[in-house]
Amino acid sequence: MEELDVRSAAAAAREAAAAMAQLGTFAKNSILVKMADEIHRDRDYILQENAADVEQARAAGRPESLIDRLRLDPARIEQIAQGCLDVAALPDPVGETVHGEMRPNGLQIIKRRVPIGVIGIIYESRPNVTADAASLCIKSGNSVVLKGGSDAVRSNLAIAEAMVRGGEAAGMPVGALSMIGDVSREATTEMMKMNGLIDVLIPRGGSGLIQTVVQNATVPVIETGTGNCHIFVDKTAHLDMAVDIVVNAKTSRPGVCNAAESLLVHKDIAKDFLPVVFDALTNAGVEIRGCELCQRYGAKPATEDDMAREYLDLIISVKVVDGIDEAIDHINRYGTGHSEAIITDSYTNSRRFQDEVDAAAVYVNASTRFTDGFEFGFGAEIGISTQRLHARGPLGLADLTTMKYLIEGNGQVR
């Protein structure tokens, strides 16, 4: 695959966008199937390039949680390829009539989904995002310019090369998919200023990357949020269930944005619950940082920064609260609007929590780890949006479209 600079890639994507928008569902699905085939065919090469990325990350002293997100193996390659097929199997949102009506003056007005155009995606350290993002953009009829981070540059280029080769062999317009090999900050900055070539940017990664894009881009941005996710264990919670949920939400994959980072515990159950949950978390390798009461049960002292921090690691902050009012206030102060959960047997408190907590996903008696496009039935996701415009929560195919109004008349004038 030819390595393009940012402007050349964006210009080629803009050139391809009109043709992409006209592709039918069968054509787009054929492209995705061929992409999956080529990923399978290039498996050994992709693993070779990924091994080099992992070795470089270890030499640079990257944390194990990041290396876990970076590392590929045959099973993960299979998942990446299968993700292309899964997106091909999803309903095509393009052309969907969202609303239609006949006005009193005889005008027929139809609101229909159409592709956005050119989508730029800037992301970090997760090679699977290359395939997930490209697949969703292609299925929704968009061109896409991808720019990954330095940690995964070889892996990303290898996956993108396979997808471009397969896609173009199946009829994808040349330039519709490109991967920027230049991982410099200058290239990222240039991409953020591509008004007229890129229609929207989607940053996906840590808070530093996301805020840099949000604060500096002149291209419109969909903000995918960091995840300082909380679990509040209410006084009526079933404690065994609460332990299971907390351990799952914290440890099943600590380096992802829907992992729990903070635990709030009702004061009335603290003496019974804290020893049990702390024992379970400690056995799972989790470092616990807590309030003064938590420190009596072995927690390290927590700072103000701990309460607001997305660790992406086997660390959790814990605080004992007076009740649901303090829990909601704490979450709305320190949360990032991603995913929050209450464990309770109180219908009243569960409804209050869901109504008053400000987040994209609010759970009752379930792990925050379910905030995911696949788990929500959307297929692969482009990210989790924590903003209110134009979409919130897992971004699926429909969220990569915009609207066009189609109006038919019979001579009306105004």
The string of pLDDT tens digits covering residues 154-168 is: 999 999 999 999 999
How many alpha carbons lie under 13 Å from residue 355 in its C-beta half-sphere? 8
| pLDDT, mean of residues 78-103 | 95
Quick check: 225 pLDDT over 80?
Answer: no
Confidence of residue 203 (pLDDT cuts 50, 70, 90): very high
CA dist 55 and 62 (Å) reads: 10
DSSP 396-410: -GGGGEEEEEEEE-S
The string of pLDDT tens digits covering residues 246-280 is: 999 999 999 889 999 999 999 999 999 999 999 99
Residue 197 and residue 7 in contact, taking contact as beta carbons nearer than 8 Å: yes
Quick check: 78 pLDDT over 60?
Answer: yes
Reference 232, options 372, 329, 371; nearest CA is 329
Tell me the three state secondary structure of residue 78: helix
Confidence of residue 2 (pLDDT cuts 50, 70, 90): low
Tell me the three state secondary structure of residue 245: helix
Q: Which helix (H) or strand (E) holds 87?
A: helix 74-89
The string of pLDDT tens digits covering residues 279-334 is: 999 999 999 999 999 999 999 999 999 999 999 899 999 999 999 999 999 999 99
Q: Which helix (H) or strand (E) holds 214?
A: helix 207-216
Confidence of residue 3 (pLDDT cuts 50, 70, 90): low
Confidence of residue 135 (pLDDT cuts 50, 70, 90): very high
pTM of the model: 0.86
| pLDDT, mean of residues 386-391 | 84
